[in-house]
Amino acid sequence: MSSLPALERRRRRALERGRVPAPLLPLLSRPWPRASQDVRDVRFLAVDLETTGLDPETDRILSIGWVPVEEGRIRLGRAGYAVVRHEEVARTEAVLVHGLTREVLARGAPLETVLAALMPELAGSVLVAHESSIERGFLGRACERAWGLRPEVPVLDTVRVERSLASFRRESRDLRLPALRERYRLPPHRAHHALSDAVAAAEVMLCQWREISGSRTTRLRRVLV
């Protein structure tokens, strides 16, 4: 993953060259945060995708959920959730786990419409995800297919943060989201639902900040991928 200064240079260069597709302009219209900023002064957007599998080339996005974190607070009133329209989806184990029926998927929104709604929310923000390879891979590939450009955004991965904390304390930790919530004494959540998982990851992130620095300042550079 590129550093924040590198991401910012590329953002500016893309705008200067006029090579940004119109649907991606809202995403790139605001500068990325600075690595030296306190995390409580940075806007984060926790995002979760439910998909038919793990391969962005062959699998499909079923639903997307997101919730902003501003000033160290989760803004549930501004959360978003969308099911992606699919006329035909095989009843695989992955689809059944997410509880999305064919009828629900048939009434969903086109993927480009959902992506276009997500882009302004990500502007100037750090994407938060639990095991972010899914979100980065699928969102990047979907934007590339839709608009010919794979945007890069800053990422905080709660799995990587937790792994770093465990290594520092020489501990072995279960990195699954339900296990981390139990460790941080958070209540059980509805797993395999995009919005619920996004909120769950955001709550874990806030607990990780407290473990890193307590009430002291946590610089953004300490928590990014």
Contact in structure between 131 and 157 (CB atoms under 8 Å):
yes
Residue 182 is part of a domain; what is its CATH number? 3.30.420.10
Give pLDDT, residue 77. 98
Estimate the crossing angle of helix 158-168 against helix 194-213, to 10 degrees: 30
Q: What is the distance between the alpha carbons of residues 105 and 63, in angstroms, rounded to a whole number?
A: 9
**Total structural domains within the chain:** 1
Question: Which tokens hold the place of 221?
Answer: 């550079």
- Domain holding 135, by residue range, is 4-222
Which residues in the chain show pLDDT less than 70?
Answer: 1, 89-98, 215, 225
| pLDDT tens profile 141-178 | 999 999 999 999 999 999 999 999 999 888 889 999 99
